[in-house]
Amino acid sequence: MGGVPLATRAYTVVLSAATVAAFVATLAVEGWQWSSRDIGIAAILFVMILVVEHLDIHFIHAATFTLSVGAILALSSGLTLGPLNGTLLVIVATACTEIIDRRNPVQAIVNVTNIGISTLFATQTYQLLAEPGTPLSPIQNVGATFVAALVYAVANSWILAVVVAPIQSASAWEIWNKNRDGFIIELATLPPLAILIPVVANENPLGILLFIIPLAGPHVAVRTLRKVEQQTQEAMEGLADAVERRDPYTYRHSIRVTAYVQDVLSEVPHVPLSMGEAILAAARIHDLGKVGTRDIALKKPAALDPSERLEMQQHAVIGADIVSHLSMYEASAAIIRHHHEWWNGEGYPDGLREEAIPLGSRIIAVADAYDAMTSDRVYRKALSSSTAMAELRKQAGRQFDPEVVAAFERSQAQRMAVPERRLAAVGGD
């Protein structure tokens, strides 16, 4: 468990103990009953769970965790075989997958116990509300299935949020809220398929295998979408790097700025996780708009004349316009547009002031200025860190947000105290 936050380790132990206690309590109440038909159905579901989990078949992918098709099969297993047998099947199948994929111990334990206890609670809820029959008949069993799906989705998503939160240095609410779309899709997807699989199993257990096709189909589409998004991000970052290569003095500037921004965000813990990711994405390509700036202005070794200065100032607008057409940069476009605004309203392009300037823009402005001052330029040598920091403090309240400057200074003190943190996180120098 080395490297895992203490809180996450503690939550994992508590989750494991709660799962074992709940399973043992259910066993004491219900006893152990397996029919030959149950064993046959369990074998088929076991293979299906093994396949979809090993291949990581899922409907959507969020920043922190995925909506796996295994969730559908887990609830279906409980509804088909009962709370005890269904939960045991899910735990064993998931554990086998974790062993095959050689996941780290904490991740494996969390995955196994989370899906196990979520299945147990959900199917016990169904059993409490449902009448004898199938999840499709009588009609009140349909409602019981929807309630069971709600219990599963809530338990599954919140357990993950609580466990992941310390790793992401965020609150459980921030983690859950960031993945709320996954929760909604899970809630909408679980009931209809969870209803159908037990009904089909009742008619012909082998018919369950037919569900592999509709379950795996959306996964292929989503995987393709994610690949396109990743390639788009790589293209944008590659273009930003290409722009910086035009001037050897600014090469890798955006990578260094992103590292500084990441350090500042660690000193501002109230920033929501999704906002932090948008800020980092903007920092990485904040100078992308310089693709439209002529070399005569970009590389001029002396002061720019008014027309050249105006041309240079357009890069923030151009960069924002480029990425505004990409949904993955929707939250980053405004950050890029305003990263040259000043705290006192004298910046560009819109003359915003103080908190009207997006927080990400204010953070990037400080990191951008610091890296510019501490890097060689064609018209001067790099300033020392102490000189650059003094200049930031001098401009706090005029050009820069004073709180951001203070956070930046704290982050640099931390960076000096822990040298191995230098730029490694984002592939810097």
CATH assignment at residue 91: 1.10.1760.20
Q: Dihedral (C-alpha) 61, 67, 69, 74: value to the nearest 10 degrees?
A: 160
Cα-to-chain-centroid distance, residue 352: 30
Cα-to-chain-centroid distance, residue 79: 31
Question: Are 411 and 347 in a shared domain?
Answer: yes
Write out pLDDT tens, residues 95-132. 998 898 888 888 889 989 999 999 999 999 999 999 99
Question: Nearest-CA neighbor of 111 among 182, 150, 163?
Answer: 163
Cα-to-chain-centroid distance, residue 237: 19
Question: Nearest-CA neighbor of 244 among 206, 203, 286?
Answer: 286
Question: Are 136 and 274 in a shared domain?
Answer: no
Question: Are 257 and 154 in a shared domain?
Answer: no
On whether residue 231 sits in a domain, the answer given is no
pTM for the model: 0.63
CATH assignment at residue 357: 1.10.3210.10
pLDDT of residue 298: 62
How far apart, in whole angstroms, are the C-alpha atoms of residue 212 and residue 146?
22
Per the DSSP assignment, residues forming a β-bridge with 61 are 66
* Contact predicate 149/190, CB 8 Å: yes
Please state the length of the chain. Answer: 429
Write out pLDDT tens, residues 238-257. 888 888 777 666 678 999 99
On whether residue 233 sits in a domain, the answer given is no
Among residues 219, 238, 257, which one ends one of the domains? 219
On whether residue 194 sits in a domain, the answer given is yes
Among residues 219, 235, 262, which one ends one of the domains? 219
Question: Are 78 and 153 in a shared domain?
Answer: yes
Q: Where are the beta strands (DSSP E) in 273-349?
A: none
Rg (CA), the chain: 27
Question: Are 87 and 133 in a shared domain?
Answer: yes
How far apart, in whole angstroms, are the C-alpha atoms of residue 380 and residue 377?
5
pLDDT of residue 297: 60
Question: Are 60 and 178 in a shared domain?
Answer: yes
pLDDT of residue 310: 80
Question: Are 212 and 349 in a shared domain?
Answer: no
Range of the domain at 170: 6-219
How far apart, in whole angstroms, are the C-alpha atoms of residue 81 and residue 194?
12
How far apart, in whole angstroms, are the C-alpha atoms of residue 48 and residue 55?
11
Sign of the torsion angle spanned by Cα atoms 325, 328, 332, 334: positive
How far apart, in whole angstroms, are the C-alpha atoms of residue 300 and residue 307?
13
Regions of the chain short of the pLDDT cut 70: 1-3, 54-69, 169, 215-223, 247-250, 294-303, 305, 378-379, 417-429
pLDDT of residue 122: 95
Question: Are 322 and 409 in a shared domain?
Answer: yes
Among residues 219, 236, 256, which one ends one of the domains? 219
pLDDT of residue 64: 41
On whether residue 235 sits in a domain, the answer given is no
* Contact predicate 371/385, CB 8 Å: no
pLDDT of residue 381: 83
Write out the two tokens for 133: 């029959």
Secondary-structure breakdown of the chain: helix, strand, coil percentages, each rounded to the nearest 5? 70, 5, 25
Total domains, the chain: 2
Question: Are 414 and 295 in a shared domain?
Answer: yes
On whether residue 12 sits in a domain, the answer given is yes
Q: Dihedral (C-alpha) 109, 110, 115, 116: value to the nearest 10 degrees?
A: 50
Cα-to-chain-centroid distance, residue 48: 27
On whether residue 1 sits in a domain, the answer given is no
On whether residue 164 sits in a domain, the answer given is yes
On whether residue 236 sits in a domain, the answer given is no
Question: Are 255 and 329 in a shared domain?
Answer: yes
Cα-to-chain-centroid distance, residue 150: 22
DSSP 58: E
Q: What is the largest CA-CA distance in the chain?
A: 87
Burial class (CB in 10 A: 0-12, 13-18, 19+), 52: buried
* Contact predicate 278/332, CB 8 Å: yes
Residue type, 92: V
Which residues, at least 6 apart from 381, have a Cβ–Cβ distance to it below 8 Å?
none
Question: Are 194 and 48 in a shared domain?
Answer: yes
Question: Are 277 and 159 in a shared domain?
Answer: no
